[in-house]
Homo-oligomer: A and B are copies of this chain.
Amino acid sequence: MTLAHRVPELGALELLIAVARHGSMGGAARELGISQPAASSRIRSVERQLGVSLFDRSPSGSRPTEAGALVTDWARRIMEAAEAFDAGAQALRDRRDSRLRVAASMTIAEYLLPGWLIALRTARPDTAVSLLAGNSGAVAARLLGGEADLGFVEGLAVPAGLDGTVIGRDRLVVVVAPAHEWSARRTALTPTELAASPLILREEGSGTRQVLGAALASYGGLAEPLLELSSTTAVKAAVVSGAGPSVLSELAVREELVARRLLEVEVAGIHLRRDLRAVWPTGHRPSGPARELLSLTRAAP
């Protein structure tokens, strides 16, 4: 039985949340534009599926049970991810007729941009954003070719012909599964040890890999990878399953570190930071929606 069969559909989760917020099934049904019996039946089917009763029904409304409150909170997390998906997808869809065209490197497009787009949507609901993802070179090319209004890159320097501003920092962290021997170390890893260790990495050309290679260049350079995988999440999955250590963006492993599914291993005497920058063609200071988006990405005071 696959995961999708054990978790209710997104529509059901949305309904669940609406019922919890509304305190009534009929109210939630009206909000979502479906009939009351449809809502009632769908909630019931969720309860059947989960084997837990989620709401105490009464003629005066429906209140979440203890389990129901918990389940709706977990459901909200799924819907938040869905919201990010939607924001990103909408930007991809609007490739043609858009007013704000953003070009971003993969890590930023993957982990940060969807959140910014959600924020932008609440601030400027009518701004259509389009998104192009690629490496730093591609971002620069899009900007210089007039195909994008604002770019985001992670890297050591601003590409030629562009101006930019640092909007944040990304730290690369060495991560292992809890069962890995490194998790029991009481001393920090040395750069030499790290350089000599086969790692699970993304394919050649990924920004992470370049930064890592540069940082370890004077310690013997990067060892031959243990595994080369095509997406960050595939790398994470491999690490979690115990295949070996990896070095990944802190952005990418935040959740896993909190949940302790991955553990960070300290490295001594080496800087694995890189700046995240917003960039634009020299002279073309961002204005309008681009300026708005830029301001959303700035760090808090």
Contact surface of A with B, Cβ cutoff 8 Å: 2-7, 9-11, 13-14, 20-21, 32-33, 50-52, 66-67, 69-86, 88-90, 92-93, 95, 106, 109-112, 114-116, 118-119, 122-123, 131-134, 178-179, 183-186, 230-234, 240-241, 251, 254-261, 263-266, 295-301
Interchain CB contact (< 8 A) of A296 among B50, B178, B256: B178
**Nearest CB in chain B: distance from A204 CB, A:** 16
Q: Is the pair A86, B7 in contact by a Cβ cutoff of 8 Å? A: yes
Q: Is the pair B78, A81 in contact by a Cβ cutoff of 8 Å? A: yes
Interchain CB contact (< 8 A) of A84 among B74, B110, B234: B74
CA distance A280 to B256 in the complex (A): 26
Interchain CB contact (< 8 A) of A85 among B75, B115, B184: B75
Q: Is the pair A10, B14 in contact by a Cβ cutoff of 8 Å? A: no
CA distance A180 to B69 in the complex (A): 29
Q: For the complex, would chain A's binding face be called helix, strand, loop or mixed by DSSP majority?
A: helix
* With known contacts A7-B86, A9-B4, A301-B185, A78–B78 Cβ distance under 8 A: yes
CA distance A231 to B52 in the complex (A): 20
Interchain CB contact (< 8 A) of A21 among B79, B122, B234, B300: B234
* With known contacts A78-B82, A88-B70, A184–B52 Cβ distance under 8 A: no
Residue on B nearest A1 in the bound complex, by CB:
B33
Chain B residues with Cβ below 8 Å from A299 are 260
Which of A80, A134, A179 has the most C-beta atoms of chain B within 10 angstroms of its own C-beta?
A80
Chain B residues with Cβ below 8 Å from A52 are 89, 92-93, 95
**Nearest CB in chain B: distance from A100 CB, A:** 17
* With known contacts A78-B82, A80-B81, A92–B110 Cβ distance under 8 A: no
22 contacts between A and B (CB under 8 A): A2-B11, A3-B10, A3-B79, A3-B82, A6-B86, A20-B230, A20-B231, A71-B92, A74-B84, A74-B85, A74-B110, A74-B114, A75-B85, A76-B231, A78-B81, A80-B255, A115-B259, A118-B261, A178-B295, A185-B301, A186-B301, A260-B296
**Nearest CB in chain B: distance from A126 CB, A:** 16
Q: Is the pair A233, B183 in contact by a Cβ cutoff of 8 Å? A: no
CA distance A249 to B5 in the complex (A): 32
Chain B residues with Cβ below 8 Å from A251 are 258
Chain B residues with Cβ below 8 Å from A74 are 81, 84-85, 88-89, 110, 114
Chain B residues with Cβ below 8 Å from A67 are 92, 133
Q: Is the pair A265, B300 in contact by a Cβ cutoff of 8 Å? A: yes
Residue on B nearest A89 in the bound complex, by CB:
B50
